[in-house]
A and B are shown apart, each in its own frame.
Chain A
């Protein structure tokens, strides 16, 4: 195990984050505050409660998921895309590092950044609503798994993308709609039956549902289904990234 290399990549990526500290911290704080003002106060005041949870509180897990997914994907994809774009990836590819160590460094750093952002959102939320977390262990488990899985997914996008447009394509066209339609701001049970069934095809629904359960013990689908879904998605991402490195796909001619 080339631990020095993992550390080198990890800290170099974290340094990149530190250089954009204001943007990294200020933007999630501002957007969370905006969501609370718009959905929590303006709209939320007209919605009494969902499954016994006040609306302002109900949207906290969904808000966190929204940021975690988009941030994990954008950080991890940019982290590996940029060296490919500038050509500095030659150094990574010629260094005595295994594929696993490369992933550990890049995905680890992206996931860490997401964890920090998620925590900031949670703290910001505490200023607007009275937070309660029913199952802290499971909450942290979902939190961690989501950060790691979607950082890995972002890493795959970064490897796959060969221009800036492709880099933005999946986060904008796929992830954002899936998060919004995955019950970030509502319970799926509020939808007509047909759309409830459609929603079940959305993998993000399972994430949000499980995460919300760890907070309030209310969920759209069972917790075990949620957990299996995220673990399955993690496995799929691992398999894809393994295949990419194995075949040198878009990395090594």
Chain B
């Protein structure tokens, strides 16, 4: 990811409180960069869909602002909405319509002139060509999902929201969908997807945000997260406490606990040399003897559970 990439969506202090007093979004601040794939993780009811709905204009936020490509989503809704495509979580499709007609309708709604060729190419990419003239109600769930994606792409959006795109989707569609996402990314389309599958976020996202109880708890580059995950900690419990780490061990970048009884060493399990053998040898040479050894590793899931778990 290019760090100097432009911010395409700028969310500031976004809040949504329903008339019943239920807080769905609480002071969300988030910058989404052009061309990135951002995965929003969170349990059901965390506020992911509400956040997307607010950006797309389906609900009215109670506070804060959202700018899309420099335009306010309320004042300049025409300019912001024409850039956005939305694939909703529910399989919402009119029953008595032909596949091709419903996709054409979407293109028109977003102000684009009819373009048979483009519509055909979208249908083909989603392997819907042979269902072009089928009634929507006759399609299977997976096929309906494809139609929803085709509708969202019908007006060539620059930003695509995928709300739980793989919920109840078979392996084949999932594969097709990720291939399509990859292709869209190559074309520079910004993709925001919500999911509660952590592996999914790991697989395709550039950045990962964690939402719970309407709050954005964490937003980090996936690689930074992966590094945290790839890193293991070796915890060395010393027989006798020390005041400082000996000079000879300086290059291991050890951390000494406050009471001087524990040393921790971070290492990358993927690297060829973890340095553990050397460290243990050097500890002996420095005259330190140890009581116990332990290793630990944090996964994205741990981070996630920890974050979500600390929520009231």
Contact = CB atoms under 8 A, between A and B. Distances in A.
Interface of A: 2, 4-5, 7-9, 12, 15-16, 19, 82-83, 86-88, 90-98, 248, 252-253
Given A4-B111, A8-B108, A12-B105, A96 B77 contact: yes
B90 interface: yes
A248 B101 CA distance: 28
Contacts of A12: 97, 101, 105
A88 B108 contact: no
A88 B92 contact: yes
B109 to A, nearest CB: 4
A82 B58 CA distance: 17
A5 B110 contact: yes
B59 A86 contact: no
A196 to B, nearest CB: 47
Contacts of B59: 252-253
Contacts of B84: 94
A86 B58 contact: no
Nearest to B152: A91
Nearest to A94: B56
Contact of A88 (B19, B86, B93, B101): B93
A95 B81 contact: yes
B110 A95 contact: yes
Given A8-B109, A83-B94, A95-B111, 17 more contacts: A2-B111, A4-B112, A5-B109, A8-B105, A9-B108, A86-B93, A88-B92, A90-B86, A94-B58, A96-B78, A96-B81, A96-B82, A96-B111, A98-B78, A252-B59, A253-B19, A253-B59
A91 B109 contact: yes
Contacts of B104: 8
Interface of B: 18-19, 56-60, 77-82, 84, 86, 88, 90, 92-97, 101, 104-113, 151
Nearest to B93: A88
Contacts of A7: 108
- Chain B interface, DSSP helix/strand/loop, else mixed: loop
B92 A19 contact: no
Nearest to B110: A95
Contacts of B80: 96
Given A4-B111, A5-B109, A15 B60 contact: no
Grouping DSSP codes into helix (H, G, I), strand (E, B) and loop, the A interface class, with mixed when no group exceeds half, is helix
Contact of B109 (A9, A15, A252): A9
B212 to A, nearest CB: 21
- A-B pairs, top 9 by smallest CB distance, nearest first, are A8-B108, A87-B92, A96-B78, A95-B109, A96-B81, A94-B56, A2-B111, A96-B82, A5-B109
Contacts of A5: 108-111
Nearest to A82: B94
A9 B108 CA distance: 8
Nearest to A2: B111
Contacts of A88: 92-94
Contact of B113 (A4, A92, A252): A4
A16 B96 contact: yes
24 contacts: A2-B111, A4-B108, A4-B113, A5-B111, A8-B104, A8-B107, A8-B109, A9-B105, A15-B97, A16-B96, A86-B94, A87-B92, A88-B92, A88-B93, A90-B86, A92-B109, A96-B80, A96-B110, A97-B109, A98-B78, A252-B58, A252-B59, A253-B59, A253-B60
Given A12-B101, A86-B92, A86-B93, A94 B57 contact: yes
A241 to B, nearest CB: 18
A197 to B, nearest CB: 44
A253 to B, nearest CB: 5
A9 B60 CA distance: 24
A87 B144 CA distance: 14
Q: Which among A7, A15, A94 has the greatest number of chain B C-beta atoms within 10 A? A: A94
B209 to A, nearest CB: 21
Question: Which one of B109, B110, B112 has the highest number of Cβ atoms from chain A below 10 Å of its Cβ?
Answer: B109
Chain B CB within 10 A, most for which of A16, A92, A96, A253: A96
Contacts of A248: 60
A182 to B, nearest CB: 35
A5 B92 CA distance: 19
B92 to A, nearest CB: 3
Nearest to B94: A88
Contacts of B94: 82-83, 86, 88
